[in-house]
Amino acid sequence: MVGRQGKELPVEVGLSWLPTDDGGVVVASFRDISERLEAQAQQERLRREADHDRETYERRLQQSERLESLGRLDVLEPGVDLLEKPFAQTPPGPPGPPGRGHRRRTCRAAVSRPLTRPRDHRGRPASPAGLGGQNWKQARGPAAAQALRSGRLPSRWPAAGRPAEGGRIAMGILEGKRILVTGVLTDSSIAFHVARIAQQEGARVLLTGYGRLSLVERIAKRLPDPPPVIELDVTDTAQLGSLAERVSGHLDGLDGVVHSIGNAPQMALGGNFLETEWPDVASAVQVSTFSLKSLAMAALPLMGDGGSIVGLDFDASLAWPAYDWMGVAKAGLESTSRYLARYLGPRGIRVNLVAAGPLRTMAAKSIPGFSAFEDMWDGRAPLGWDITDPEPAARACVALLSDWFPATTGEIVHSDGGVHAVGG
């Protein structure tokens, strides 16, 4: 066989037809073909890296513009420029192994300064367990791994890529959603922490208050982005009828509603079960049970695109000491949520409950004998239980408000340390 320059080639080299740019063909060795294919593959790798860099820059630009429009550029980590192009951090040089250069350049900004220990919403140093932290391998991107290897990242971290403090994050599971939260009375209530986490996850929040609106407005100022407050008495048909109109003055619709409403007269609690009269029972049921249906129907005109309704519950499968007719009302609440799930499902609306363990809230203080729950719950909970920490229940509510449970409705999610699942 004869090669391109008339030299005889050994048979084991092998020959093949190789197309030329002008449409012709030449006889070439397999080595020539291999070199040409490798050059084409290298060009394709460089093109993909350039496309990735361009997409990264455009995404950061959109993120920066969104934060700037909200006036919340302060949540960005100091010293890191969102608009800094990853491909502008080092001068161009000869191509290296696929992808390695880009990964090295994007890591540099992230490890240029020490990362401090995260803090909770009250500004105190947060423990990994208290934050529900995750293993570093779950943190996103090569920057986290590089930072850990350099000793600058704690071995456990809060939600990946999100600040642990109260500031609003760039992207979250409720990004752009409009949420109505009822029942915020103090900053120790579950509803307050639902509103806080919802804002951190990107939601626009509107609160309702009953009676002492000035108190709710004062508490609302403790949220990352103080929301407006409107009045709502769930036993007042006029206020329920005007709810959609009053909400529309602040939000152009609703994607989620949080029902955190419950009340029973003192005679319906504390061991008075056999002596309680019907007017007291009727009051407990109307406020704590029927109000879920009333609130859902009042908000329905604003939920044309579907959404999620989440109510707060206390496990009604057992007869708890001193809970009495409030336990009956909670059992009715659970049944009401299932029927709402049945009838609102065709409209794309999910209805679920979160059954929290006992918490030292304003509502709990009104229950005679509440200390009995405090004494036994932590000992029975496989995961343990902190009666002063409403965040686990609040996180469960936020998760159900998000799109991460698209096919879940009529459900009761227990956030109680596991007491509901084990014996005494």
Helix 190-200 vs helix 391-401: angle between axes, to the nearest 10 degrees? 50
Q: Is the pTM above the cut of 0.75?
A: no
For residue 286, give the nearest of 262, 269, 266 by alpha carbon: 262
- Indicate whether 160 pLDDT > 80: no
Average pLDDT estimate for 291-313? 97
Asked if 230 contacts 181 with a C-beta cutoff of 8 angstroms, the reply is: no
Structure confidence at residue 68 as a pLDDT band (50, 70, 90): low
Q: What angle do CA 259, 199, 60 make, to 5 degrees?
A: 145
For residue 167, give the nearest of 75, 65, 282, 90 by alpha carbon: 75
Average pLDDT for the chain: 76
DSSP of 360-402, one letter per residue? -SHHHHTSTTTHHHHHHHHHH-TT---TT--HHHHHHHHHHHS
How much is the pLDDT for 424? Answer: 62
Token pair listed for 135: 């293993």
- Of the two residues 58 and 143, the one the predictor is more confident about is 58
- Of the two residues 84 and 414, the one the predictor is more confident about is 414
Strand 134-135 to strand 156-157: parallel, antiparallel, or no bridges (unpaired)? antiparallel
Residue where the block lists tokens 């990004």: 175
How many whole angstroms separate alpha carbon 243 and alpha carbon 246? Answer: 5
- Point out the residues that are catalytic: 323, 330
For 334-356, the three-class secondary structure string (H helix, E strand, C coil) is HHHHHHHHHHHHHHCEEEEEEEE
Q: Residues 161-200: pLDDT tens digits?
A: 344 444 544 579 999 999 999 999 899 999 999 999 999 9
- Indicate whether 113 pLDDT > 90: no
Q: Residues 76-97: pLDDT tens digits?
A: 444 444 444 343 343 444 444 4
**Which has the minimum average pLDDT: 112-121, 249-258, 364-373?**
112-121
Q: Residues 355-409: pLDDT tens digits?
A: 999 887 766 666 666 666 777 887 889 999 898 899 999 999 999 999 999 999 9
